[in-house]
Structures are given as structure tokens and as C-alpha cells.
Structure 1
Amino acid sequence: MDFTDNPQIALALDYLQNTGKNIFLTGKAGTGKTTFLHYIKKKAFKRMVVVAPTGVAAINAGGMTIHSFFQLSFGPQVPGASEEKNKTYKLRAKKIKLIRSLDLLVIDEISMVRADLLDGIDRVLRRYRDKSKPFGGIQLLMIGDLHQLPPVVKDDEWRLLQAHYPSPYFFHSIALQETGMVSIPLKKIYRQVDEIFIALLNKVRNNQMDEQELQQLNSRYRSELPADEEDYITLTAKNAPAHSINKQKLSALSGKSFVYKASIDGDFPQHAYPTDENLELKIGAQVMFIKNDLQMERRFYNGKIGRVVAMNEEGVRILCQGDSEPIWVENMEWTNVKYDLNKQTKEVVENVVGSFSQLPLKLAWAITIHKSQGLTFERVIIDAANAFAHGQTYVALSRCKSFEGIVLRSELAFASVKTDTLVKQHSEAAENNFPKKEDLQQAKREYQQSLILDLFDFKKIRIQFNILERLFLEHNLTISEKALQNFLDTQNKVEKDLVAVAKKFIPQLQGYFQQPPMPQDNTELQNRLRKAAAYFYPRLRACWDFVFGD
């Protein structure tokens, strides 16, 4: 991926690689947020895991759900409540080791993550990492668009949470407000090329529609809907209308139906199925690809619409508008991953624990706006008969490549084209506080300093030796006097030769940190660190050999 023409993505990458700052990567629909996520997953700059609020989002992002990874309940995470009340489940030893090894936590679709859920993550990370630091000191990369799908909170849940939070949005998380974040809005739009349409979408997004612009939008209203053969997809606010449209359209087709049964292996939860387990199709059915083609030709992509023109037990042929030849489609595989820590390399590894194999297709006369997030269509019919949640109008309109590709089933009122005031204010603040060059340099300096100081923080070794001391004393009748004395001698060396010396050395380091050069460019500091390494390494090695043997 080339970032030379996208300074915001290059900046996000610099912050990600070279600082410990929390990052909110946002931007309008089609600005490359998902592409960026897949890029950093491949490059693996830091030991990281990817989580998302829903099963489908997690599978698409190649990660796990927040609730599964952190063992959090689906109820409200009330600040100050006991773990039992919040139903935080204990983690296994392997998961704890993994959490302690992480440098980076990536949260996709952050707009759907509630503030209390983010604070639930904070509590788990503090418990198993550093209690004194928000999120246990781990760096967060949060990806999403607040102008799209909002967090869901029921009335009875909000009654419990409203005393603690001004709103359910993630940016009101107590832990996040304590630590702060750098907001980087992406600017370049890859989905639409029509400047007039982009300007209109921006008006919807920013609550700036006037009467003339609303009339312009409503010029896409059609009392008679396009014919089926024109490959329009209807976007609905709720599940029931989409399901009903697909069922009616499929039933209206003559001919025999085929039911394609998915092959499910291992652990793959039903709520994360990317398409129907039993997918019923007929000749003439309108379908949508839900995966990108892995072959060199890139014949299809996630969101491409076509029609079934032939099928047998092995697969189907799909003809898409503009294509001269139908595409032969067979089963593709989705995997469910869990993260583990490689004992030898200490690297985070993805273990496939389950798979779902099925035709990468869905019936697509209609889908919900929620499920259309992240997709691009040539032609859409927008069903605005039901009340839209904040952001749904923008999501629906921005799915389409062009203004001419949109058809409205009913005219939009101002009430339908609405953005939450809090979201608007937060987005404006992010634009006005875009990170400056000096902000990045200071963040890099702080990150390098923290990495150096961590090298000489031996408190954890002291704590482990104190635990060992307690065990030795509890079992002193079964442990030889010589073994006990060897332990006490080693413990004394830890205190005297490591902890005490490091305590005196750290103020010297902080003196070097006051000098103008960055730590990586400070020759005096580098020489001092080499001498420190020559002193500390053999003494640390002796501790290791005592505990684990030669």
C-alpha cells in the first residue's frame, strides 16, 4: 500500500510505529480505514490483537469479539461496581500471559463500542498489566466513523449508566479521558469521484443541510421503483423488511431451488456466520458477493451485485452488470481465530479454532443499512419509511458510488437527515486539534524515554522474589537450609545490585532526557546505556539461572 499520496495515513502509521499514543483513526465512508487495518495486520509492527464489537465485524477484521477476548458480559459495565456485578469472568493463564505481552490493541468499528464497554476493557487490562495506567499501559488504535452506526443502549441500561457518563459514545469512557487520544481524520475518498455528490454527503454528515440541498436529495425519489433486472439493492432500516423483500422476490422466481449447506468445523459461533448456513438460490436470484476474490483476476469484491444464471451441486455462475462472462463461484472459507503467545519467540500468533465454508453470496434484493456498512454499490434503493437512527441516512447514501445510482422509496424530511449534536461537536474538535509536527516529535520522545525507563524497572523481579520468599518460608521444613540460604543471598543481590542501583541510575537517565537530541540520536546517552547493559546483564542472567537453572 502506497501512502505517499495520503499524508493522514502516513501520519497514523508514524504514530502507530513510533509512539505509545492512543489513536482514533476516523474518516468519511470510503477513505481507506479498513484497508489500513489489513495493512498493519500484515506488517505486524507491534505485538497486537484485533477486536470488534460484533461477531461479523470481528470475522471481517480477522480478530475476536471484545466480549470473547476480555471475557466481559453483555450487560452494562457499571463503573465502581464489583467484578461479580459486572460479570467479568476470570481469564485463563494463557490469556493472561498474552495480555501481558501486548504492545497494541486494535478496536475496529469503534463507533458501536459504548463508553462503559471501553472501561470494562480498561479494568481487565489494569488487573493483569499495570494498575496505575489507563488500559494497563497498552496502546490503543481505534478505527471507525462516529457519523455512521452509533452504540446501542437500552433504556434500562442507560438508567444504570447515566450517572457515570454524559453519553454512551466511546469518547466519554472514563479511562480514555484520563489518557487521551490523537484523532486522525482521513480525507481522501476512494469510493466516490463525483465532487458534487461528495459535497452533498458532507452536508448530511455535518448537519448542514438546507432546504435547497434537501430538495436536491429528494430529486432521487421515484414513485415507481426500477425493474428487478436493473440490479438495484434496497437498504432498509430494520431486518424484517429486508428479510421479507428477499423472501418474496425469491418465491416469485419460477424454477427449482438449490439449497447450499455450509460446512462448519470447530468453534465458529452462529452469531458470526457471514451468510446463511442453508443458502437457498434459484436461477435469476439477485445476490451479493460477501468476500473479495482471492485469485489474480479479482473478478468480484465484497458488495458486488449479480444474478444467478446457472448452478449445480458444486457451485453457481453469477453474471454481473458490465461483465461479458459469468463468474463461476465455489465455496470459500472464513476462519475464527483466537490469539496465543509463542513461548519461544514471545510473538502473538493467530490460531484458527474454527471455520465456516460456504458460497460467498447472500440474497441481495435487500439488506439492512447496518449490514451495508463498509460496502460499495453501483445502485441502491433507500427505504426511509421507518425512523432512522443517528447516522443511518449518511451510511445509506454513502454506500453508493454516484448520486445518479440512488433511488429513494419515499422523500426524506429534515428529521431523517440528522446527526447527533455530540458527534458533530466531537468531530469538529478533532478537525480543529489535528496533530502538529511538534506533537508527533514530542510523542516520539516520550515513547523512547518510556521504553528506556522500562528496561531498568526491576520492581516486577522484586515482587516475584518476594512471592518466592513467602513460599520458601511456608515450606521451610521441607527445604534444606542451604537452598534457603542460596535463595536469600540471591534475593539480597537483586535488591542491592539491581533495584538499588537502578533507582540511582534512573535520575541520571532523566538528566539525559532533558538534553535537546532525541534519545535515539543522543550519543552520550547511547554510550551510557551500553555501559549500563554491561553492568546489569550478567546480574540479571545470574537471577535467571538461579530461578530456571543453567
Structure 2
Amino acid sequence: MSFIGERLLENIDAHLLQAFPSNANENFAGISMILVGDLGQLPPVNDTPPYNSRRRAELLWEQFTTIITLDHIYRQEGQGSDQERFRQLLMNIRDAKPTLDDWILLMTRSSMTIDTTTNQEFDSCVHLFSTNDNVHNHNKKKLQSLKNPVARSIASKVQNVTANQSGMDDELDVDLLLSKNARVMLTSNLWIEAGLVNGVLGNIRKIVYKLGSAPPQPPAYVLVEFDNYSGLPFNDRHPSSIPVLAIERGGSSQIPLRLALTIHKSQGLTLQKATIDIGPTERTSLTFVAISHVKSLQGLRIMPPFSDDRYEKLNKGKQVVGRKREEERLQSIQNNSRASHKPKDVDTTFTFISTNCKMYCTGYYCKI
């Protein structure tokens, strides 16, 4: 929900009023609305958070008056002192109050601090960058180091697409570079039960084209050997190698793979290991979102390192001040209605969510 800006919220309301004209005198056409997420995540792109709006969006946002906070941390769970310290570090950064000790601890995971063997282990893991340009440069360097032919796959347009379906989906790259042995990440849930989910890693083993087609057309499929595949084998000799076909999203067709990601496009992923490049300047929630992708401090490599002065103005940023003010308002609403709305257990929570009341749910890396 942190990605929802004033224009998007107003558009949701407008489309619901069109779909249910008989309820045109009610916000969201009287439809039950549930927002889930963490306002401490990345803010809307090229938009203003609705709680900082002076438009109709602010009135719509204030319709969410039932609040449930899920406060158990699942991604970085664990009882050891190191894990507790890592959780506190992340919370300090989220709340724009990092300490010098936090920075010193983070720099123990710098590429200049960890040993050569550990650095080599991280070379094959996911890399996250602050800009698209850095992603493209990294991908080119990695592919060049493989010394294998590179196939360029340009997303193809899907015929008979309506205006509402046009545009490229965030899951798919318009221009994708592929090469044998390249380390890639799946960006779509293809087969959840077998472990083929958004964020799983693997290595390209083959790139196969239909007869008569060639780059830059998308291949017929890319054979990827996935790290944690648990389904039926496609090939008995290579049981973890699975063909990944192009999928259709947003009016385009493309292979759902990526070599590296921007921090924005990686929001929501849980990673065992990752190399993080947060760029030269701090932006709202960027460092928090990037670092919190990993489950433990040992799963993090920071490259390049950064100085502690990037946090000096973090707590005074306009978006951070507005977000904290809104979180205080929501917390006050929750405290006032705690007795009547607080769920007793997990089953009650599910029952409560399924009712037709409007509800706002926030949490720091929650799992329902």
C-alpha cells in the first residue's frame, strides 16, 4: 500500500463508481476495501501519498478507520543476539533514526571488509541497484565475463489488446539479454507448489528458438536449472532444469527472467543472499527496503560502501515527516478501538478480514 499514490487511489474510486453506478453516492461505490502493507516501504513513484494530499484522495484515505497491526517479524525471525541486533538496525533505518553503531555494523558487510572467498560467493547472488542504468551496466559486464554468445530478447506485442491492458508490466523486461550459464531470477509465479515462484534463482543452460525465428525475437523457451526446484523432472539427467516460456503481461509477451534488479522492482522479495548498491544519495525508504530483503546480516554484501553522513537529513525529509505523522494518527485510531477490534487469534483474524467492513492493515514484514 505504500506504492498507492493520490492519483491511483482516486482512479480506483472512479472505476468502482463506473462499475456500480447505483452506489454512486458512496466512496468506492460501497465496496469493501482492504489495504495491506507498510508505509515505511518505498513511496509512490511520481505520485504523492494520499495522506499528504490536498485532493479527494485524502478524504478517500481517511475512510479506512479499522486498523490491525501485525507486529511479528517473519523475514528476520530468530532469537539469537545477532538476529535481534539486525532487526533493531532495520527498525532504526525504517524510522529514519539510524545510529553510528548501526552504520559500523553495516560496514562489516562491505565488499571491502569481508574476505575474498565470501565475496566470490556473493558474485553469483542477486544484485540490487538504485537505478536502471546501474542494472544495465552490471548485466552487460556479467554477460561479457561469461564469454558466451548473448541473445537479445525484445518483448513482442500481443494482438487484440484493449487500451486498459496496454503497457509493460513490472514483471517483464522490454529488452532482455540472455546467455548460457548466466545467473537469473524468475519474476513470475509459474508453479508455486514446485518452488517456481517470483524471486527463485537459477542458471541458464539452453536458449531454444522455434524454427525460422532468431534474436531479437523472444525464444521459444529458456532452459533454466533452478536452485530449489521440487517438481517432476523435465529431463531425468537434469531434474532441476525446467523450460521457462514467455508469458503475457500488460499487452506484451516476454520471458519472465532477470539478471539484476532495481531496488524498486525488488520490493516484496525475500532473499537468502544479495549484493546491495544503494547509490550515492539517500532517498525515502531506499536503504531500508534494500537491506531488509535478506533474512540475516550474513546474507548481505554492500558494494560499494557508503559513509554515515547520508543519514544526517533523513529524519527531516518531507515524506518521512508526513509518513510518521500519519502512522501516529493511525496508531491513535487503533488504540481507541482496540477493545472491539483486536483479534484473539489467527482464525479470528481471517474471519474478521472476510467481513464487509473497511479495514486498514499495516505491519513490518507480516505473514497472514
Length-normalised TM-score, structure 1: 0.48
- Alignment partner of 2:201 out of 305, 327, 333: 305
CA distance in 2: counterparts of 1:274 and 1:121, whole angstroms: 21
Q: Which residue of 2 aligns with 1:360?
A: 256
- Alignment partner of 2:186 out of 289, 293, 296: 289
Q: Which residue of 2 aligns with 1:468?
A: none
Amino acid at match of 1:361: L
CA distance in 2: counterparts of 1:331 and 1:410, whole angstroms: 38
- Alignment partner of 2:95 out of 180, 197, 206: 206
Amino acid at match of 2:2: S
Q: Which residue of 2 aligns with 1:192?
A: 76
SS of 2:139's partner is helix
SS of 1:288's partner is strand
SS of 2:308's partner is coil
Structure 1 position 411 matched with structure 2 position 306? yes
Structure 1 position 175 matched with structure 2 position 60? yes
SS of 1:280's partner is strand
- After superposition, what is the alpha-carbon deviation per residue over 1:86-137, rounded to whole angstroms, capped at 9, x for unaligned? xxxxxxxxxxxxxxxxxxxxxxxx3222235434544565573445433333
Amino acid at match of 1:204: I
Q: Identity of aligned pairs, percent? A: 25
Amino acid at match of 1:233: V
Q: Which residue of 1 aligns with 2:283?
A: 389
Deviation at 1:166, TM superposition (A): 7.4
Q: Which residue of 1 aligns with 2:349?
A: none
SS of 1:279's partner is strand
Deviation at 1:440, TM superposition (A): 7.6
CA contact (8 A) 2:143 2:182 kept: yes
SS of 1:275's partner is coil
CA distance in 1: counterparts of 2:175 and 2:338, whole angstroms: 53
Compared CA separation, residues 448 and 307, structure 1 to 2 (3 A) = closer
Deviation at 1:439, TM superposition (A): 4.5
Amino acid at match of 2:59: I
Q: Which residue of 1 aligns with 2:108?
A: 219
| Unpaired stretches in structure 2, ≥5 consecutive residues | 210-220, 231-237, 344-351, 358-368
Q: Which residue of 1 aligns with 2:295?
A: 401
CA distance in 1: counterparts of 2:242 and 2:356, whole angstroms: 53
SS of 1:315's partner is strand
CA distance in 1: counterparts of 2:356 and 2:134, whole angstroms: 54
Q: Which stretch of structure 1 is more off in the superposition, 388-397 or 220-229?
A: 220-229
Amino acid at match of 2:269: L
1:521-532 matches, cutoff 5 A: none
Compared CA separation, residues 427 and 273, structure 1 to 2 (3 A) = closer
CA distance in 1: counterparts of 2:34 and 2:244, whole angstroms: 35
CA distance in 2: counterparts of 1:334 and 1:448, whole angstroms: 33
Q: Which has the higher contact order (CA 8 A, sep 6+)?
A: 2
Deviation at 1:229, TM superposition (A): 6.9
CA contact (8 A) 2:151 2:178 kept: yes
Q: Which residue of 2 aligns with 1:139?
A: 32
CA distance in 2: counterparts of 1:322 and 1:216, whole angstroms: 34
Q: Which residue of 2 aligns with 1:436?
A: 338
CA distance in 1: counterparts of 2:258 and 2:151, whole angstroms: 14
Compared CA separation, residues 201 and 146, structure 1 to 2 (3 A) = same
CA contact (8 A) 2:227 2:240 kept: yes
Deviation at 1:264, TM superposition (A): 4.7
- After superposition, what is the alpha-carbon deviation per residue over 1:189-232, rounded to whole angstroms, capped at 9, x for unaligned? 33223442223222222234222223222222222782377423
CA distance in 2: counterparts of 1:169 and 1:406, whole angstroms: 40
Q: Which residue of 2 aligns with 1:514?
A: none
Amino acid at match of 1:216: L
SS of 1:173's partner is helix
Q: Which residue of 1 aligns with 2:363?
A: none
Q: Which residue of 1 aligns with 2:225?
A: 318
Q: Which stretch of structure 1 is more off in the superposition, 271-280 or 405-414?
A: 271-280
CA distance in 2: counterparts of 1:321 and 1:133, whole angstroms: 48
SS of 1:306's partner is strand
- Alignment partner of 2:43 out of 150, 167, 171: 150
CA distance in 1: counterparts of 2:356 and 2:130, whole angstroms: 48
CA distance in 2: counterparts of 1:144 and 1:281, whole angstroms: 34
CA distance in 2: counterparts of 1:115 and 1:192, whole angstroms: 32
CA contact (8 A) 1:153 1:168 kept: no
CA contact (8 A) 1:303 1:376 kept: yes
The Cα RMSD (Å) is 3.8
Deviation at 1:293, TM superposition (A): 4.0
Length-normalised TM-score, structure 2: 0.69
CA distance in 1: counterparts of 2:243 and 2:342, whole angstroms: 47
Amino acid at match of 2:179: K
Larger Rg: 1
CA contact (8 A) 2:202 2:224 kept: no
CA distance in 2: counterparts of 1:368 and 1:391, whole angstroms: 14
CA distance in 1: counterparts of 2:269 and 2:281, whole angstroms: 22
Structure 1 position 246 matched with structure 2 position 131? no
Q: Which residue of 2 aligns with 1:545?
A: none
CA contact (8 A) 1:151 1:168 kept: no
How many aligned residue pairs are there? 306
CA contact (8 A) 2:52 2:58 kept: no
CA contact (8 A) 1:119 1:174 kept: no
CA distance in 1: counterparts of 2:152 and 2:286, whole angstroms: 33
Structure 1 position 329 matched with structure 2 position 243? yes
Q: Which residue of 2 aligns with 1:115?
A: 6
